[in-house]
Amino acid sequence: MNKEENKQILSLDIQPLHEAVEDEARNLILAGFLERFGFIDHSLNPDLKDMMGAYNKEGNGFFVALAEGELVATGAVTKEGHRVGRIERMSVKGTYRRKGIGQRMLAKLEEAARSSKYERLVLETNNSWESAIQLYTSNGYHLVSDDGQRYHFEKTLEV
């Protein structure tokens, strides 16, 4: 990793989603879908139409990561049930992957989950997304089921 790449990581600013970057955050998530799946099915992602409205509820938090003012990652935690949160919408811009940004976003989401008094987090990811699987397992998430397409993970949060 060269000094410029380190600088980008050190200057990462993770902040709550706000209207000025909502379209950019949506586009980053959709670009990730296009890259991973080769197509986008908007009917599967109704929350992306109005992200500010969809994630502006008690127990929810949507965050964006900026490096040098450029939006490079997204992530959300939502209420799944009593004391249970769900990690979703984790996406890192292709040119910024493998630089610790996903790790830092996940830490921010776990911090937000603790602030919302969640005791456990759940998430899912496609079986073929090895980098995501590695991120989650290396951060204490345990596989609880496999539906043939997605792995379902959970983690008990320490208070």
pLDDT, tens digit, 9 for 90 and up, residues 4-25: 444 445 589 999 999 999 999 9
Q: For residue 45, name the pLDDT band (cuts at 50, 70, 90).
A: confident
CA 125 – CA 123 distance, rounded (Å): 7
Contact assessment for residue 102 and residue 94, using Cβ atoms and an 8 Å cutoff:
no
pTM: 0.89
CA angle 106, 60, 40 (to 5 degrees): 70
Fold of domain 3-156: Aminopeptidase (3.40.630)
CA angle 57, 44, 110 (to 5 degrees): 45
pLDDT value, residue 93: 94
pLDDT value, residue 84: 97
The mean pLDDT value of the chain amounts to 90
pLDDT value, residue 10: 56
Please give the residue that has the higher pLDDT: either 45 or 71. 71
pLDDT value, residue 88: 95
pLDDT, tens digit, 9 for 90 and up, residues 105-129: 999 999 999 999 999 999 999 998 8
Please give the residue that has the higher pLDDT: either 47 or 3. 47
CA nearest neighbour of 50 among 73, 77, 28, 19: 19
Q: Where are the domains of the chain?
A: 3-156
Beta-carbon contacts of residue 101 (< 8 Å; ≥ 6 apart): 9, 12, 65, 67, 72, 73, 92
Q: For residue 32, name the pLDDT band (cuts at 50, 70, 90).
A: confident
pLDDT value, residue 43: 81
